[in-house]
């Protein structure tokens, strides 16, 4: 199958997946307890006022009409109006994407920077103290709940030692970029520092599980590669050990690792919910939590659709590259 056909096929599958997400979320809306009107209005509201508000929000229309209206809006980017603020959902959700993307990418950077060297050391010094240390670190990282780690980091590093702020995102990378374009280089540098200072704790919190995962993956991949014939051949040829390890074995190890990193990026975008709530980070996660509390279904649906689209795109990208690089995996 050609690349073009593969892409078309995956794009169509992606559309189906997003449609499925929309339908499931819409279905959940009608089986979940809590009428949005009862959350928006206190119990003592005059029943007539309640009816008027319900009509104004369009909540009195039949289910299938609400569903088709919602689905029909998606291709033109219209995700409806928020029940709480009555503002368009599309703009509101998209404005939260950069914050979450920044967090996911920063967490990935934290993970990759720590995990790959750690995994390599662990594999090359197998059964030595360094390996045991790395293993212990991975175990702790995998078994520590995100929210607990976040709260602990805040209490120790922010409140006790006063090294980092506990919350907020004073400026985004887009803001830094804007300052740079406007020629305010000094402010842009200050902005970048403020950004890095604020994102460190959330990124470490979100990235810890991921770090542990990649450490283990790099370790086992590296051990696999080091035991293969070509490594032994290279050694037999008399190639320096460093060259064998890092130019040959590590490079082969990184292929599956990078695939996992790509796929996990999607998970991180979705999994940032708890971390964002702990750090009051103004991204999709915080928006999702707040819209669940407020039963603001259009905003919740919009956020989940964006997460689903992001997930699908990352998957297609990773699959395409993987198939392209490895002829054993055909485009099918």
Contact 157, 201 (CB under 8 A): yes
Query: Is 280 one of the binding residues for another protein (CB under 8 A)?
Result: yes
Relative orientation angle of helices 185-226 and 97-124, to the nearest 10 degrees: 40
Distance CA 88, CA 209 (A): 35
Among 17, 158, 239, 316, binds another protein (CB under 8 A): 158
Contact range with another protein by CB under 8 A, out of 5-13, 67-75, 123-131, 162-170: 162-170
Among 90, 138, 211, 215, binds another protein (CB under 8 A): 90
Q: Is 93 exposed, middle or buried (0-12, 13-18, 19+ CB in 10 A)?
A: buried
- Residues within window 237-276 making contact with another protein, judged by CB under 8 A: 251-252, 254-255, 258, 262
Question: Residue 209 has which token pair?
Answer: 């599980």
Between residues 17 and 277, which has the closer beta carbon with respect to another protein?
277
Among 53, 231, 260, 309, binds another protein (CB under 8 A): 53
Of 100, 77, 104, nearest in space to 89 by CA: 77
Between residues 222 and 278, which has the closer beta carbon with respect to another protein?
278
- Residues within window 188-227 making contact with another protein, judged by CB under 8 A: 190-191, 194
Q: How many residues bind another protein (CB under 8 A)?
A: 83
Of 324, 140, 143, 285, nearest in space to 202 by CA: 285
Contact 150, 279 (CB under 8 A): yes
Instruction: Give me the least distance between CB of 68 and another protein, in Å please.
Output: 23
Query: Is 62 one of the binding residues for another protein (CB under 8 A)?
Result: no
Among 91, 145, 227, 240, binds another protein (CB under 8 A): 91
Question: Residue 169 has which token pair?
Answer: 């995102």
Between residues 77 and 117, which has the closer beta carbon with respect to another protein?
77
- Residues within window 65-84 making contact with another protein, judged by CB under 8 A: 77, 84
Among 2, 33, 129, 186, binds another protein (CB under 8 A): 33
Alpha helical stretches, state H, 227-325: 229-237, 241-243, 250-279, 284-293, 297-325
Among 15, 17, 41, 263, binds another protein (CB under 8 A): 41
Question: Residue 112 has which token pair?
Answer: 């990759």
Query: Is 119 one of the binding residues for another protein (CB under 8 A)?
Result: no
Cα-flanking dihedrals φ and ψ of residue 171, to 5°?
-150, 150
Distance CA 164, CA 204 (A): 12
In terms of phi and psi (left: phi > 0; alpha: psi -120 to 50; beta: otherwise), the region of 128 is beta
Question: Residue 316 has which token pair?
Answer: 């297609």
Among 2, 4, 31, 43, binds another protein (CB under 8 A): 43
Instruction: Give me the least distance between CB of 138 and another protein, in Å please.
Output: 23
């Amino acid at each position: 199958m050609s690349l073009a056909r593969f892409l078309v096929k995956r794009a169509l599958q992606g559309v189906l997946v997003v449609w499925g997400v929309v339908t499931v979320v819409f279905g959940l809306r009608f089986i979940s307890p809590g009428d949005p009107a009862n959350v928006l209005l206190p119990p003592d509201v005059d029943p007539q006022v309640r009816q008027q508000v319900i009509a104004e929000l369009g909540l009195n229309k039949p289910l299938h009409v609400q569903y088709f209206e919602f689905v029909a809006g998606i291709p033109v980017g219209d995700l409806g109006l928020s029940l709480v603020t009555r503002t368009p959902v599309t703009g509101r959700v998209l404005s939260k994407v950069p914050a979450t993307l920044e967090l996911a990418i920063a967490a990935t950077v934290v993970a990759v920077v720590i995990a790959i060297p750690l995994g390599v050391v662990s594999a090359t010094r197998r059964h030595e103290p360094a390996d045991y240390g790395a293993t212990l670190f991975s175990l702790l990282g995998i078994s520590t709940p995100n929210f607990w780690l976040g709260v602990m980091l805040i209490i120790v590093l922010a409140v006790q030692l006063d090294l980092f702020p506990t919350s907020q995102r004073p400026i985004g990378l887009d803001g830094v970029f804007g300052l740079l374009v406007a020629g305010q280089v000094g402010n842009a540098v200050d902005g970048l520092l403020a950004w890095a200072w604020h994102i460190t704790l959330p990124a470490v919190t979100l990235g810890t599980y991921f770090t542990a995962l990649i450490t283990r993956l790099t370790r086992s991949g590296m051990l696999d590669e080091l035991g293969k014939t070509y490594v032994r051949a290279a050694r037999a040829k008399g190639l320096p050990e460093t060259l064998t390890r890092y130019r040959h074995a590590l490079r082969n190890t990184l292929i599956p690792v990078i695939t996992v990193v790509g796929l996990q990026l999607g998970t991180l975008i979705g999994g940032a919910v708890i971390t964002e709530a702990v750090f009051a980070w103004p991204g999709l996660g915080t928006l999702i939590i707040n819209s669940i509390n407020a039963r603001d279904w259009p905003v919740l649906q919009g956020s989940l659709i964006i997460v689903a689209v992001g997930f699908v795109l990352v998957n297609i990208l990773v699959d395409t590259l993987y198939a392209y690089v490895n002829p054993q995996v055909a485009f099918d």
